[in-house]
Structures are given as structure tokens and as C-alpha cells.
Amino acid sequence: MINIVLFGPPGSGKGTQAQHLIEKFNLKQISTGDLFRYNIKNETELGKLAKSYIDKGELVPDQVTIDMLTDELRKPSNTNGFIFDGFPRTIAQTEALEKIVRQELNSEISICLSLVVDDEILVQRLIKRGETSGRTDDSDVEIIRNRIKEYYAKTAEVAELYKKQGKYAEVIGVGNISEISEKLFAEVEKIK
Ligand code: C5P
Ligand code: MG
């Protein structure tokens, strides 16, 4: 199996690049942000809870997100593996993911691919995306800045765990989208 953690701050292009990676390597994307938004749209209890955090640009509590991800991972899939997009976002989520992948898939995380983008470019991209995304958390600069703040406070340190395991690669996430994809593909080829 190939199991990729697609990592990077909000607006770094994880969703876009996940689309290219799933096609290239026949993987299933699991985006915890998309799962939350699906639940919000359908007004589920989980959606209501998640919305109260997402609308402030804060992280949803670990166990809520971990349980949702576990449910998704248990659904049958005949792909070569998974791309985790927007998860893990904390050390606790990282440790949980390792366990879940071992228990549910009898496998492990192959690599953490990290998209590197300057903060000011992130803010510009998210404001722009907010013009069409309909996402409440893209529509306000203060919320956007809080999401980036949360990233540095709780998420950035996740990279260290993968670095220690020798499972970490960085790609500059600014420039031509296809060229960025090619660089990501090359990192996956190295470990195949
Ligand atoms: O990944 P994405 O940027 O789509 O996530 C949108 C929001 O969903 C985050 O800003 C956060 O509020 C919430 N989220 C979370 N924990 C995750 C993934 C997303 O709290 N692991
Ligand atoms: Mg996304």
C-alpha cells in the first residue's frame, strides 16, 4: 500500500494536489475538512459540533476528528492506499493515525509530503478562494489568520515526528500546479 499524509498550512494546495496524486497512484483521498463540511451541509450532530469550531478557525477536538476518520477508513475501498488530506493536525492525531492504519489496514504511513508556502501567499489565496468556495472560514481575514495561527501552534510540530522516522519530504507549493505535482510524484516514486 501507499499511504500518504499530505501536509501543509491552510491554502497550501493540499486538496488540489491530492486530486492529482489519487489519479496517478490510484489512491483514495480522505479529507477531514471535506467530511466536516459534508456533515455541516447535512446538519448532522457532528456537523453542528464541528461548525462551532470551524467558524472560528479553530481545530475540532481530537477524538471527534479521529472517530470520524476511523469510520471513513473502515469503508471498503479497492485502491492502492490512502491520502490523508488535512489530517493529522496534532501530535495526538498523528499517534492515533499510526494505530488506526496498523489496526484497520495492517499497513503504515509511507510518507508525509509537505507543501511549503509563505504565510502572506496563504492569506491571499484563501481570500481569493473565499470569493467562490462559499466557506465561512475563507470569508474573513481574522478567521483565516487564526487558522494559520492554529497551524503553527498545533500542527507544524507534526512534521518533526515524520522527519524522525525518515518519512518526510518537502516540496515548494508555489508556482505551476503541474510542476508541483511532478515533484510530489517523484517523492512517491522514491519510496515505491
Ligand atoms: O482541512 P481543511 O482546511 O479543509 O479544514 C477546515 C477546518 O476544519 C479547519 O480549519 C478546522 O477547523 C477543521 N479541521 C479540524 N481538524 C482536522 C481537519 C480540519 O479541526 N484534522
Ligand atoms: Mg483542503
| Contact (CB, 8 A) for 27 and 107 | no
Which three three-digit cell numbers place residue 99?
Answer: 494505530
47 Cα to the center of ligand 1, angstroms:
12
Which three three-digit cell numbers place residue 8?
Answer: 501543509
Which three three-digit cell numbers place residue 15?
Answer: 486538496
* Ligand that lies nearest to the alpha carbon of residue 47, given by its number in the listed order: 1
Of ligand 1's listed atoms, the one at least distance from the Cα of 60 is 20
- List residues near ligand 1 (CB under 6 A): 10, 32-33, 36, 53-54, 57-60, 65, 86-87, 89, 137, 147
**If you average pLDDT over every residue of the chain, what do you get?**
98
Query: Of the residues 38, 39, 54, which should be mutated to test ligand 1's pocket, given the most ligand atoms within 8 Å of the CB?
Result: 54
| Contact (CB, 8 A) for 4 and 27 | yes
- pLDDT digits 0-9 by tens, 113-167: 999 999 999 999 999 999 999 999 999 999 999 999 999 999 999 999 999 999 9
Q: Are strands 2-7 and 168-172 parallel, antiparallel or unpaired?
A: unpaired
15 Cα to the center of ligand 2, angstroms:
4
Whether the ω angle into residue 88 lies within 30 degrees of 0, i.e. cis, is: yes
Cα 131 to the chain's mean position, in Å?
22
Here the CATH number for the domain that contains residue 63 is 3.40.50.300
Q: State residue 141's pLDDT score.
A: 97
Range of the domain at 124: 2-191
Q: What is the 3-state secondary structure (H, E, C) of 75-91?
A: CCCCCCEEEEECCCCCH
- Structural domain count of the chain: 1
- pLDDT digits 0-9 by tens, 56-102: 999 999 999 999 999 999 999 999 999 999 999 999 999 999 999 99
**pLDDT band at residue 27 using 50, 70 and 90 as cut-offs:** very high
Give the predicted TM-score (pTM) of the model: 0.97
- pLDDT digits 0-9 by tens, 95-126: 999 999 999 999 999 999 999 999 999 999 99
When pLDDT is averaged across residues 168-181 and rounded to a whole number, the result is: 98
Of ligand 1's listed atoms, the one at least distance from the Cα of 137 is 10
